[in-house]
Structure 1
Amino acid sequence: MRIDDLDTPCLLLDLDRVNKNIATMMGILEGTGVSLRPHFKTPKCPAVAELQLKAGAIGITVAKLGEAEVLADAGLGPILMANQVVGTTKIDRLMALLARGVDITTAVESDFNIDELVAGARRSGQRPAAVIEVDAGLRRCGSPTPAESVRLARRLVDEGIDYRGIMGYEGHMYGQPEDAARAELIHTALATVNDHVEALAEAGLAPKIVSTSGTASVLIASKTAGVTELQAGTYVFNDSHNEEFIPGVFENALTLLMTVISVKDRYAVGDAGAKSLTNEFGPPMSVDGTVKVARLSEEHCTLTGEGIAKLKPGQRIEVVPSHGDTTLNQHDVYYVRRGEEVIDTWPILAARKFR
């Protein structure tokens, strides 16, 4: 099958670029002593996670239990859930994964989380594993001080939970557009994480896992003492938002194919709308950079730019998502390509697994 044979809108995944991005990331980490546990929130596809593991990743990171369940069904792991598991229903799902023999570690930030894990362990007879999430400046979840992290670690040990370490995420870096200021912010965030590491070590609770960082931080985090692993996810496909922060390192492997359905004097209309494409990080652009997705309605998009003059109704164009994660979450399959040939279809099994 050729790309011209596909119905639109649909997602195209360039397999050669995926493999190149995986190799690039492993090359960055080679010799640093820092491992990779890539985040599943980007591909949401076991076939991609398997490529990452075969290339040397030590496990997979998830944000939701539904993602962990997809990986478990595929026999992939170990799994780090970089999120808190809250509520009896979810705690029991976590325990069910442990009962299946899945190696999964979850994050805690409070006594409430520990109390729920302890209660779930008593109900199920399982022994959960946990890392302590620390607030590295994002002001989302996380232990606020090194002293609090030490206290929580002691509680985990005392309660019989498998204490494995800490994690922190410097996601607030994405709000800083200036390179030098962003680098300083990343260094500060990682220093905060290491303050917790040092306090835990002094208390005899040295963390085995110190997990941090998204794709845009890897060049700094991979050279930061104390960090043991990175949770980068976006690198495997890249997108235009990530390219703003770490340009020229990874290639855009994911595109959305759409059909032009109308052409006017100053704009055109495509058949991809907000139900198949997202723009929360800015307007998606065509691969050649001449056409901008200026506006999304439900099932239509307004196209502008110098490339409009060359468009005709029925023509196909590919756009690079500004945020691949949320765009692909609206689809069920990748059409895997080499050049203009479709060589496979990969189901996006964790799409919309937001529970």
Structure 2
Amino acid sequence: MDYSLEHHQSYIGKPVSDLPTPSLIISLPAVKKNVEILHKDVEGLGIRFRPHVKTLKALEVTRMMLGEGKHRAVVASTLAEIRGVLPLAKEGLLDECLYGLPVVSSYLPQLAELRKSLRILLMVDNEQQVSLLEKFGADQPWDIFIKIDVGTHRAGVLAGSSALHSLVKRAEASNHAQIYGFYCHAGHSYASRTSEQAQQTLSEEFSSVIGASGLLPADRELVVSIGSTPTAHVVSSLKAQLPGNTKLELHAGNFPANDLQQVSTSLVQIQDQAVRIAAEVCSVYPERNEALINAGAIALSKEVSPNYPGFGTVVGKLDWGVIRVSQEHGILASSKTGALADKEFHVGQRVYLYCNHACITAAAFYVYYVVDANDIVVATWIPWKGW
């Protein structure tokens, strides 16, 4: 069994320098600040908010993202995440959950069971999925979001396409599906480098889902759901006028944690990252000016970010990055001329790393060590694992 999972509570009250390595550290002050900023933006506009629980996958941070029940809907990428949020539904803090992948037949029995405890919405982007719902034959129709592809080309039906028209018509004719609204996720917004670029992406999302909502009668109540963490940071710029029958909803997931991909957008600062990885220097190689740490591809992922070369960056030494990884090994090198590995590092030294993509990095760890402003462990969070 994972050592941290067996012994995590014994580290409460201890400094991060005592943690086993590799470990995932979460700054509680940074999480609280990041959540507060986004909540203020959303509440200032008077729009709905649906946090995505996929990043840290933990009950404690989900409770914070919901504002202790002020916001009452989430989106989840796995059934494990839906099962994980059920305690919040029992507490009366959560009303509904959107399963965020296009629905497949093997999941329908489990989703049907889950909606006995929580309202479940499904994602649809193909007429065949409506046929699956009909074949499954539930007692009541499923509420569905129709997913619109606004340029990410991951999932969704193209805005303005004949396929979208046909899908809306097919869903409307079915007794087993009820269109709740239209949803899009601008994953390509991570390429934004300025607030103006993020605003442009947000505007494109907005136009796409509003255009799709025009395929239904004007008196039909609908929800249009837009967003991603980069565009969420500029949501306060949204001034568009909604049709009277349409409610606007923002969704975002990474925002409590942030990472180097987010920092690369210029919409958050390096100090806004709440996640660090603790590792140790295993060896130093002066002849090639590199150092070896015990955090590799499994601990860090192989995700990259535009402005920070490699697979992670050393906190406090941003010119030193993890330039190569194998399964459990990471190689540190510097982009700065004249920087010497044997002057910066020694065997047994602790290093702390910012990661490129907090969602994937966090998935590798069975325990999160939550620290205060003095880097003392004040809590441990156990994430939901699996699918």
User: Normalization by structure 1: what TM-score?
Assistant: 0.89
The 8 Å contact of residues 261 and 356 in structure 2, kept in 1 or not, is answered as yes
Match 1:92 to one of 106, 109, 115:
109
Partner amino acid, structure 2, of 1:107 = M
- The answer as to whether partners of 1:190 and 1:221 remain within 8 angstroms in 2 is no
| Contact 1:334 1:347 survives alignment (8 Å) | yes
Q: Are residue 197 (structure 1) and residue 184 (structure 2) matched?
A: no
Three-state SS of the structure 1 residue aligned to 2:52 is: coil
In 2 relative to 1, CA 4–307 (structure 1 residues): closer, same or farther, beyond 3 Å?
farther
Corresponding residue number in structure 2 for 1:152: 167
Matching of residues 1-355 of structure 1 within 5 Å: 1-54=14-67, 56-72=70-86, 75=89, 76-87=94-105, 89-98=106-115, 100-120=116-136, 122=137, 124-146=138-160, 148-149=163-164, 151-160=166-175, 161-175=177-191, 183-202=199-218, 204-207=219-222, 209-222=223-236, 223-225=238-240, 226=242, 228-245=248-265, 246-248=267-269, 251-265=272-286, 266-282=289-305, 283=310, 284-288=312-316, 289-305=318-334, 306=339, 308=341, 309-338=343-372, 339-349=374-384, 351=385, 353=386, 355=387
Q: Deviations over 1:9-35 (max 9, x none)?
A: 010011111111110111222321222
Deviation at 1:206, TM superposition (A): 4.6
1:96 partner amino acid: E
Query: In the aligned structure 1, how far is the partner of 2:229 from the partner of 2:123?
Result: 20
Could you tell me which amino acid in structure 1 is paired with residue 127 of structure 2? D
Which deviates the most, 237-246 or 128-137? 128-137
Question: Do the aligned residues in 2 keep the contact of 1:336 with 1:346 (CA within 8 Å)?
Answer: yes
Deviations 1:165-195 (A, max 9, x none): 1101221233465765564344334322221
Distance 1:66 1:273 in 2: 26
Shift of 1:115: 1.2
* Aligned partner of residue 216 in structure 2, secondary structure: helix
The alpha-carbon distance between structure 1 residues 205 and 136, as it changes in their structure 2 partners (threshold 3 A), is: farther
Displacement of 1:242 in angstroms is 0.7
Q: Distance in 2 between matches of 1:307 and 1:201?
A: 67
Say if 1:307 and 1:322 are closer, same or farther in 2 by CA, change over 3 A.
farther
1:106–1:131: 8 Å Cα contact kept in structure 2? Answer: yes
The normalised TM-score by structure 2 is 0.82
**RMSD (Å), alpha carbons:** 2.4
The residue identity in structure 2 corresponding to 1:229 is E
Aligned amino acid, residue 336 of structure 1:
V
Q: Distance in 2 between matches of 1:148 and 1:34?
A: 29
For structure 1, which segment, 248-257 or 308-317, has the greater mean C-alpha deviation from structure 2 after superposition? 248-257
Q: 1:250 to 1:131 in 2, by over 3 A?
A: farther
Decide whether the 8 Å contact of 1:95 with 1:126 is kept in 2: no
* 2:104 counterpart letter in structure 1: V
The 8 Å contact of residues 153 and 205 in structure 1, kept in 2 or not, is answered as no
Equivalent residue number for residue 9 of structure 2: none
The answer as to whether partners of 1:78 and 1:103 remain within 8 angstroms in 2 is yes
Segments of structure 2 that go 5 or more residues without pairing to the other structure are 1-13
